Amino acid sequence: MKTIEEITSYYGPQLAKGAFELGAIRLSPKDPFTWASGYRMPIYNDNRQFLAKSNYRALICDAFSDMLDSLGFNPANIAGTATAGIPHATTLADRLHKPLSYVRSSSKDHGLGHQIEGLGKDGSYHGDKVVLIEDLISTGKSSLSAVEAIQKANGDVPYCLAIFTYGLSAAEEAFNKVEPACKAFTILSYDVMIKTAVEVGYVNDKEAEDLREWRKDPFGWGNARGFMKVER
């Protein structure tokens, strides 16, 4: 059986090339993007672009399926985060012939007020094992909010699988504090993304180093280089 490291080393570079091709990952250290927060960042990620090509949707599903096999985890329910995690959770659930649910960022303010859709009338997982499918792990806050919602609905969710991560220390620290424990694994890591970007000529060595420096201090990176935060 393949290890998680073997799986990610196989699928990660393929996914990185697809991300560059489709614009799911864009890199611009010389002219950083302005995020919604106003901070200038050298990377922009939108994994919804993967929806445009069936081969990449299948690749993501293959990777998630192999990761579950490697972990020896056979979930009773596949949960996706709303909205970007839903398509990939759906593909995986169909592949494995499993029930599907999805987790909103917060409960609805109308109707039955559900935060999780796809459960029975009582809104409970009844102690079933659940895997959470996420598109991106940034600081980890939104992912862990979904984990907490699943746990409150009596779901056992020991794993969160995501397409990509920035590899920020804040996310690692946040996941380490979760009780009951939930471990996060991603198909594509930040380091593999940069390595692949250099190999395909998307960025040069100097730009790759700038990208590595960004991860050390993402919210101070721009100001330190003269790319001041845009006040909203």
pLDDT at 165: 98
The answer to whether residues 16 and 193 touch, using CB atoms and an 8 Å cutoff, is yes
pLDDT in tens, 30-77: 999 999 999 999 999 999 999 999 999 999 999 999 999 999 999 999
Which domains does the chain carry? 4-224 (3.40.50.2020)
CA-based nearest residue to 161, from 179, 178, 177, 146: 146
What ranges make up the beta strands (E) of 166-217? 183-188
Q: Phi and psi for 200 in degrees, rounded to 5?
A: -90, 0
What pTM was estimated for this model as a whole?
A: 0.95
Residue pair 63/92 in contact (Cβ under 8 Å)? The answer is: no
**Residue 18: pLDDT over 90:** yes
pLDDT for 129 beyond 70 = yes
What integer pLDDT is reported at residue 113 of this predicted model? 57
pLDDT in tens, 198-227: 999 999 999 999 999 999 999 999 999 999
Using 50, 70 and 90 to split pLDDT, how confident is the model at 108?
A: very low
Residue 20's nearest CA partner among 221, 203, 214 is 203
- Please, which residues have CB within 8 angstroms of residue 179's CB and are 6 or more apart in sequence? none
Which pLDDT band, with edges at 50, 70 and 90, does 1 fall under? confident
pLDDT digits (tens, 9 = 90+) for 153-207: 999 999 999 999 999 999 999 999 999 999 999 999 999 999 999 999 999 999 9
Instruction: Give which of 164, 155, 228, 162 is closest to 191, Cα–Cα.
Output: 164
User: What does the pLDDT read at residue 107?
Assistant: 65
Give me the long-range contacts of 194-199 (CB less than 8 A, separation at least 24). Answer: 195/13, 196/12, 196/13, 196/16, 196/17, 196/20, 197/16, 197/20, 197/27, 199/13
Beta bridge partners of 119: none
**110 has a pLDDT exceeding 90:** no
**Core vs surface per residue 39-53: b (16+ CB within 10 A) or e:** bbbbbebebebbeee
Say what the pLDDT of residue 106 is: 73
Residue 123 backbone phi and psi in degrees, to 5:
65, 30
Q: Is the dihedral of CA 56, 9, 25, 103 positive or negative?
A: positive
Residue 109 above 80 pLDDT?
no
